[in-house]
Structure 1
Amino acid sequence: MRSVPALIIGALFIAEMTVTFEASMVYAALPTLISEFGDPMRVGWLVTIHMLIAAASSPVVGRLGDIRGRKRLVLVLLALALVGSVLSAMSTSFAVVLVGRALQGLSAVVLPLSIGIVRESLPEEKVPMGIGLLTTALGAGAASGLVLGGVIVDNLDWHALFWASAIMLAISIAAIAAFVPDRPGTPTRRPIDWVEGLLPVPAIALMLYAIGATKQSGWLAPQVLGMFAVCAVLFAFWARRSLRAEEPFLDLRLFRDRNFAVVNLITVLLGMGTMQIVYVFSAYMQSPGWTAVGLGLTATVAGLAKLPSNFLSFFAGPFAGWLIQRMGNRATVSAGALLAASGWIAAMALPDVLGFVIAMLCVISFGTTILQAALPNIVVATVPQHRTSEAMGSMQVVRGIAAAVGAQIIAMLLASRTVLSPDGGAQFPAPSSYLMTMGVMAGLTFAGAACAMLLRARETKLAPA
């Protein structure tokens, strides 16, 4: 089949939008699902299970794509997610819906595989722009999940959300099958060590679960410390086995490359910082007027206020690819981080005018999207082609763990100083809490810009196969 870059990117774009839509659509339906199943904690697992499965499977499935062929793995993942969507759409049992969400979580690994497909299928000069376009699909899918998901839930039964996801997945499968070339992977010279390959799965899942448990139990609770101890043992055993292997399934030696290590360090800082934009500003815009901070908007209006920044960010991904080709990695990452940080500094003024808040969202989102496009481009230019999806999957795990830690940090910052509601029934963050939160977000983002100085200034060629 003749490879047409526009059709390849178009098919992958649809798939990325779809998997991000199904990840975010549940947020719009949370109140309805809580009414259906009667327990906020149980319903919360519909979000948690998706996150756990996505993070834990990313490096392993990404590596399998490198070995077996990326297109066929994408089709398998989308098919499993389609089964999960249909299961959830046809059932009223919470257990079945939970299984469906777990299967949907596997589709999140499509991004690392898609970046590998872009690298192996497109001319070298088109790779940065292609990766930038895929990055914009993530924002578009998240926005459609929140907005379209809300419309569906408000006008139809919640099952319609999963039917919509199933339809989108079917379209994605057809597009990938028709337009993405099927290229063989790079088989290993030795039999796969499945013990070494699968050890990270329970370790990553347990770490994310332990971080989530700190919200109720605290960081020093015995059960939380026990889970972290088990994680440390599993990671240590895996690292020892991987580093001793002649041809490891997941190669920790990739971190010996300066650019790859620095990119992951920046990912940690940004995952805890500027990538928390939706969390921070959703809370800020919905903060009641009597708290003397925020805008007092409804959840629907707050979601709509985010749309202009989502639209503007659509152009940030390709712009990042253009910048990398002309200015190099270091300058592009620095520019994106400094732009986002400037938005967070402006937010420290705690504006109470919607137009100003939308403008800050646009600035922060544009800078953050540049970073989300630039960092994968640096990884692609650094690692061997036959390790591309594995490396991207590992970075996705790092980002997921950092985001989970960042969410807990923000929760603690917002709870540091509170004001009591007029009826005495609830506590809300005080202005000083939001000021401190915005300052921490700016500081973490500035730290990412500083770390960008450790990157090699320019990669003229992609890493050899």
Structure 2
Amino acid sequence: MDAPESSSRAGAVVATLALAGTVAAIMQTLVTPLIAELPQMLGTSPSNAAWVVTVTLLVAGVCVPVSGRLGDLVGKRRMMLVCAVPLIVGSVVCALSSSLVPMIVGRGLQGMGMGMVPLGIALLRDVVPAEKLSGSIALVSASMGIGGAIGLPIAAAVAQYANWRVLFWGSAVLALIVGLMIFIIVPDAPAAAKGQRFDAPGAVGLAIGLVSLLLAMSKGADWGWSSGTTLGLFAVAVVALLAWGFYELRTRDPLVDLRTTARPRVLLTNIASILIGVGMYSFMLIAPQLLQFPESTGYGLGQSMLAAGLWIAPGGIMMMLISPLGGKLINARGPKVALICGAVVIAVGYGVALPLMGTAWGIMVAGIVINSGVALAYGAMPALIMGSVPLSETAAANGFNALMRSLGTTIGSAVIGVVLAQMTTTMGGFTFASEDGFRTGLMIGCGVALVSAAVAALIPAVGTTGGDAPADERPAGVGEAPART
């Protein structure tokens, strides 16, 4: 195995990988300012236009764990370069689109590139000195949240003051720059699972189960939670995922090693990741609506999309500032403590939001606190995972953890969507989510964050039964601080 890079070279590598994560997150938030205009832009109905958002989620859900496993088999840097290609091509296709189908194809291609972030996190272990590893993991992991927070006001500004196609041409240029930087700056590392075979049946089975599950959760509110389509998709998801799990336990080189995933340390980290995803995304759904609802409602703040994005942006900047501190906390106390602290800080942020939701500055402060907690948690989760799995499964395990976070955001979107749809008020002939609905959503976010802290507290320490991988298989520099946990 190649030795980790020098500190100066490592800094450039970390900056490149963090930029890659930020660009990938911007791709996801890119169409948010356009959602209301998509039907007119594409000449279609609002329900059909919603697929422009949904397809990215579905494709990313399938491709992230697959690209992670391929990273272990053929090399993480190589797979990051592969992921850059659909990001570039997808952006160009979207920029040239004038109808629904090409736009959906382009957004689907963008979703294929989302595996870049877990691949980058896994690659850090191979190319960054051990003393800088925790901080590097924290920064690159948090880059998804950073990109999401700062991408919204940038996209809103471009959409408001320029042609919407500029958004996609700009994203194509960013993806091209990231691809070139990875090619030039990021060193290669040996494929940890070279010689093993790719589990194609496992990839197909996981795709069927995940698409059915994510589609049911993301579209259930539109189709009706008790509709035959929604219930049928949930049934297909259950059957497909059970069959997939049965197959994975019996194949020689599985796509996801479920025995490793079932280790208490990995399992509880993934459960906490789902809950953190719910807690993070609940605020991301509630805050923009509160900021943009009409002042006549008595609780809306009447902000434009651009102004709302600017009020939310400081939270993303705070993630960038907190990430290095999260790395120091991981080094000093271990990733388990950092994860617990992150979950508690998220809960505190929701506690701040409840009394201050009537002011824009109050929402901004709550966002800063919540995103500070997300930064701590996002840095700790991959550190826990990489400290608990064999070297040959690092990228695959990170990809699966990223999938768990994505599953959490999907659940959060569905739950908060149901709450706001059921708790409404009517003013001037228009129906809005009520103030009580928003308060309930904030309380749900707070409660889920506290539950994630409790789950994190149950994660076994290094050296305990079921706590981690064998010492010779565990990546250096990312394990728990054994004397202090």
TM-score range, shorter chain: over 0.9
* Residues in 1 aligned to 2:459 and 2:435: alpha-carbon distance in whole angstroms: 37
- Normalising by structure 1, what TM-score? 0.94
Deviation of 1:457 (Å): 4.3
Moved more, 262-271 or 110-119: 262-271
Assess, with a 3 A threshold, how the Cα gap between structure 1 residues 296 and 457 changes in structure 2: closer, same or farther: farther
Give the partner amino acid of 1:324: I
* Residues in 1 aligned to 2:295 and 2:97: alpha-carbon distance in whole angstroms: 41
Contact conserved, 1:380 with 1:463, CA < 8 A, in 2? no
Give the partner amino acid of 1:129: G
Partner secondary structure for residue 92 of structure 1: coil
* Residues in 2 aligned to 1:463 and 1:275: alpha-carbon distance in whole angstroms: 34
Picking from 205, 214, 230, the partner of 1:199 is 205
Moved more, 331-340 or 192-201: 192-201
In structure 1, what is the equivalent of residue 384 of structure 2? Answer: 378
Contact conserved, 2:156 with 2:309, CA < 8 A, in 1? no
Contact conserved, 1:112 with 1:392, CA < 8 A, in 2? yes
Q: After superposition, what is the alpha-carbon deviation per residue over 1:109-161, rounded to whole angstroms, capped at 9, x for unaligned?
A: 10111011101111222211111111342233223422222222223222211
* Residues in 2 aligned to 1:161 and 1:121: alpha-carbon distance in whole angstroms: 33
Moved more, 215-224 or 445-454: 215-224
Give the partner amino acid of 1:161: L
Give the partner amino acid of 1:34: P
Partner secondary structure for residue 340 of structure 2: helix
Task: Map 1:241-260 to 2 at 5 A.
Answer: 241-260=247-266
Task: Map 1:284-303 to 2 at 5 A.
Answer: 284-303=290-309
In structure 1, what is the equivalent of residue 220 of structure 2? Answer: 214
Give the partner amino acid of 1:442: C
Moved more, 350-359 or 59-68: 350-359
Whether 2:434 is the aligned partner of 1:430: answer yes
* Residues in 1 aligned to 2:326 and 2:48: alpha-carbon distance in whole angstroms: 40
Picking from 21, 27, 35, the partner of 2:32 is 27
Give the partner amino acid of 2:408: A
Q: Aligned Cα RMSD in Å?
A: 2.1
Whether 2:474 is the aligned partner of 1:464: answer yes
Contact conserved, 1:340 with 1:363, CA < 8 A, in 2? yes
- Normalising by structure 2, what TM-score? 0.90
Whether 2:125 is the aligned partner of 1:115: answer no
In structure 1, what is the equivalent of residue 12 of structure 2? Answer: 7
* Residues in 1 aligned to 2:251 and 2:379: alpha-carbon distance in whole angstroms: 32
Where structure 2 has 5 or more consecutive residues not aligned to the other structure, the ranges are 476-485
Deviation of 1:431 (Å): 2.4
Partner secondary structure for residue 382 of structure 1: coil
Whether 2:422 is the aligned partner of 1:416: answer yes
Contact conserved, 1:135 with 1:373, CA < 8 A, in 2? yes
Q: What percentage of aligned pairs have identical amino acids?
A: 28
* Residues in 1 aligned to 2:472 and 2:332: alpha-carbon distance in whole angstroms: 15
Task: Map 1:115-154 to 2 at 5 A.
Answer: 115-154=121-160
Deviation of 1:429 (Å): 2.3
Picking from 90, 97, 100, the partner of 1:91 is 97
Picking from 79, 85, 97, the partner of 2:85 is 79
Partner secondary structure for residue 420 of structure 1: strand
Deviation of 1:458 (Å): 5.8
* Residues in 2 aligned to 1:159 and 1:318: alpha-carbon distance in whole angstroms: 36
In structure 2, what is the equivalent of residue 178 of structure 1? Answer: 184
Deviation of 1:54 (Å): 0.5
Give the partner amino acid of 1:195: P
Moved more, 350-359 or 74-83: 350-359
Deviation of 1:401 (Å): 2.1
* Residues in 1 aligned to 2:139 and 2:150: alpha-carbon distance in whole angstroms: 17
Assess, with a 3 A threshold, how the Cα gap between structure 1 residues 381 and 187 changes in structure 2: closer, same or farther: closer
Give the partner amino acid of 1:35: Q
Q: After superposition, what is the alpha-carbon deviation per residue over 1:208-229, rounded to whole angstroms, capped at 9, x for unaligned?
A: 1111221123222222111111
* Residues in 2 aligned to 1:338 and 1:418: alpha-carbon distance in whole angstroms: 30
Where structure 1 has 5 or more consecutive residues not aligned to the other structure, the ranges are none
Deviation of 1:190 (Å): 5.2
Contact conserved, 2:423 with 2:434, CA < 8 A, in 1? yes
Equivalenced residues, count: 463
Deviation of 1:241 (Å): 0.9
Give the partner amino acid of 2:23: T
